[in-house]
Amino acid sequence: RRRIFSGVKPSGHLTLGNYLGAVRRWAQEDQHRADALFCVVDLHALTVEHDPARVRRLTRQAATLLLASGLDPEHCTLFVQSHVDEHARLSYLMECTATDGEMRRMIQYKEKAAREQARGRSVRLSLLTYPALMAADILVYGTHEVPVGEDQTQHVELARDLAQRFNQRYGPVFTVPRATNPKVSARVMDLQDPTSKMGKSHAETAGIVYLLDEPDVVRKKIMRAVTDSGTEVRYDRTGQPGVANLLDVLASCTDGKPEVLAGEFASYGELKRATAEAVLELLRPLQARHAELCADPSYVDGVLRAGAERARDLARPRVNEAYAAVGLLPPA
Ligand code: TYM
**Cα–ligand 1 centroid distance for 84 (angstroms):** 20
Instruction: For residues 219-236, give the mean pLDDT.
Output: 92
DSSP annotation of 107 reads H
What are the pocket residues of ligand 1 if the criterion is a CB atom closer than 6 Å to any ligand atom? Answer: 5-9, 17-18, 21-22, 41, 44, 134, 137-138, 146, 148-149, 151-152, 155, 185-188, 197-199
Binding-site residue positions for ATP: 9-11, 17-18, 149-151, 188, 197-201
- Measured in Å, residue 169 CA sits from the centre of ligand 1 at 30
Indicate which residue's Cα is closest to atom 14 of ligand 1.
17
**What pLDDT shows up at residue 95?**
98
Question: Where in the chain are all domains bearing CATH 3.40.50.620?
Answer: 3-181+296-325
- Ligand 1 centroid–CA 233 distance in Å is 30
Q: Does pLDDT of 276 surpass 90? A: yes
**Percentage helix, strand, coil, to 5, in the chain?**
55, 10, 35
Q: Which of 6, 144, 152, 279 to mutate to test the pocket of ligand 1 (most atoms within 8 A of CB)?
A: 152
C-beta atoms surrounding 294 within 10 Å: 13
- In 3D space, the residue among 142, 129, 124, 127 whose CA is nearest the CA of residue 96 turns out to be 129
Q: 24-75, pLDDT tens digit by residue?
A: 999 999 999 999 999 999 999 999 999 999 999 999 999 999 999 999 999 9
Task: Answer whether residue 91 shows pLDDT above 90.
Answer: yes
| pLDDT at 201 (0 to 100) | 82
Backbone φ and ψ for 78, nearest 5 degrees, come out as: -120, 130
Give the list of residues 6+ apart from residue 46 with CB closer than 8 angstroms, or none: 55, 124, 126
Instruction: Report the alpha-carbon distance of residue 250 to residue 67 in Å, rounded.
Output: 24
d(C-alpha 107, C-alpha 131), whole Å: 11
Q: Does 301 score more than 90 pLDDT? A: yes
Catalytic residue (one of 183, 200, 220, 221): 200
How confident is the model at residue 227, as a pLDDT?
92
Distance 9 CA to ligand 1 centre (A): 7
Confidence category of residue 230, pLDDT binned at 50, 70, 90: confident
Classify burial at 98, counting beta carbons within 10 Å of its beta carbon; exposed 0-12, middle 13-18, buried 19 or more.
buried
Which mutation among 26, 71, 126, 151 tests ligand 1's pocket best, with the greatest number of atoms within 8 A of CB? 151
Q: Is 257 a catalytic residue?
A: no
Return the number of other C-beta atoms located less than 10 Å from residue 201's C-beta: 14
Tell me, yes or no, if 220 is annotated catalytic: no
Lowest-confidence region among 48-57, 231-240, 322-331: 231-240
197 is catalytic: yes
**Distance from the CA of 331 to the center of ligand 1, in angstroms?**
36
Report d(CA 16, CA 197) in Å as an integer: 11
Q: Where in the chain do CATH 1.10.240.10 domains reside?
A: 215-291
* Annotated binding-site ranges: 9-11, 17-18, 137, 149-151, 188, 197-201
Given 110, 183, 197, 220, the catalytic residue: 197
CATH architecture of residue range(s) 215-291: Orthogonal Bundle (1.10)
In angstroms, the CA 198 to CA 284 distance is 21
- 320, 330 Cβ separation under 8 angstroms: yes
Residue 284: per-residue pLDDT: 98
The residue with greater pLDDT, 206 or 184, is: 206
Using pLDDT thresholds of 50, 70 and 90, give the confidence band for residue 202. confident
Confidence tier at 203 by pLDDT (50, 70, 90): confident
Q: Are 109 and 127 in contact (CB under 8 A)?
A: yes
pLDDT digits (tens, 9 = 90+) for 148-183: 999 999 999 999 999 999 999 999 999 999 999 999
pLDDT band of residue 229 (cuts 50, 70, 90) is confident
- pLDDT score of 228: 82
pLDDT in tens, 288-297: 999 999 999 9
Mean pLDDT throughout 310-319?
98
User: pLDDT: is 228 or 302 the higher one?
Assistant: 302
Q: What is the ipTM of this complex?
A: 0.99
What CATH number has the domain spanning 3-181+296-325?
Answer: 3.40.50.620
Task: Provide φ and ψ at 200, rounded to 5°.
Answer: -70, -20
